[in-house]
Structure formats: structure tokens, C-alpha cells
Amino acid sequence: MAGILDVPKPRINCSMLSQFINRAVCFIGRVEKVHPTGKMFTVMDGEGKTATVELNEPLEEELSGIVEVIGMVSNKGEIMASTYNLLREDKGVPFDLELYNEALKVIHDFPQHYPFQVAASG
């Protein structure tokens, strides 16, 4: 867990999963279905596509709404979560997932203006 916190974790959506296999990423999406075992759930991103998240330990609480997951992308394109946090819907401004997706596209279309890698090494 300590290892993953030290590296830059690019924000991605489902269409970018395949480009980040075996890399640490940050994924934001809306919780769709939670597996009965509690160790897996699906999330939908701002474009409407779905990804699967796997956890080390089963969930202890009910998960719903928008969640931010940090983890590694497996060979199968699933996210092996190290940690997650729920974006509370009852507080503050509601999170606009489509707008977040637009911002993601901008960040990936213009990587020269968003040099996140440099920040981590400094």
C-alpha cells in the first residue's frame, strides 16, 4: 500500500484502462453492482462504460454513489484496489461525472501541459 501512494496515479476512465495495464491509476465512477461476496463491484465512468474493481478484503459497508478508487490495473483490465473513498452526495456540490470525463479527456489530449510525473519525482 505504501508503494502505491508514492507514485503518480493518472486519472483514467474505462477507455484508457488498456493503456495502463500493470500501472497504478486513479478511477472515479458511479457504483453499479456489488458482488455478493463484497470483494468485487462494478463502476460506471462518465462515458457510460463499466469497469470491475476487486478488493483485498470484503466490503464492510454499503457502497453507493460516486467512488474514487486507487489501484493497479490487472492484465484483464480490472482494477485491483488498494484504497477507495466515497464522494459524499449529501454534502457540497454534486459531482458531475460527465464534466469530470471531459476534463480527463483534456488532460490526456494535452499531456505536455499536465506533467504529473514531474511532480512526483520532485
Partner 1 sequence: MMSDGRHTLSSFMLSTQLNYMAEENLLVPNCVCVLKRQVTNMLKDGRRVVIILEIDVIKPADASGKIGDPVPYSDGEHFLNIQAVILPLLLVIYSFFSPSFSLAVVRNLKRDFAKKIPSALPDTPGGSSKIVPIASLNPYQSKWTIRARVTNKSSIRTWSNARGEGKLFSMEIVDESGEIRVTGFNQEVDKFFSLIEVGKVYYISKGSLKIANKQYTSVKNDYEMTLNGESTVIPCEDSCDVPMVQCDFVPIGDLENREKDAIVDVIGVCKSVDELTRLTTKSNREVSKRTLSLMDMSGKLVTVTLWGEEAEKFDGSGQPIVAIKSAKLSDFGGRSLSASFSSTMMINPDIPEAYKLRGWFDKEGHAMEGQSLTEVRGAGGRLSENWKSLADVKSEHLGHGDKADYYSCIATIVFLRKENCLYQACPTQDCNKKVVDQQNGMFRCEKCDKEFPNFKYRLILSANIADYADNQWVTCFQDSAEAILGQNAAYLGQLKDSNESAFDEIFQQANFNTFIFRNRVKLETYNDESRIKATVMDVKPVDHREYSKRLIMNIRSMGAK
Scan residues 69-108 and list those touching partner 1 (CB under 8 A).
93, 96, 99, 102-103, 106
Which of 85, 21, 77, 37 is closest to 53 using CA atoms? 77
- Residue 45, judged by CB atoms within 10 A of its CB (0-12, 13-18, 19+), counts as buried
Selected binder of partner 1 within 110, 112, 119, 121 (CB under 8 A): 110
Q: Which residues contact 56 (CB under 8 A, 6 or more apart)?
A: 81, 82
Nearer to partner 1, 21 or 106 (CB): 106
Nearer to partner 1, 24 or 28 (CB): 28
Would you tell me which residues interact with partner 1 (CB under 8 A)? Answer: 93, 96, 99, 102-103, 106, 109-110
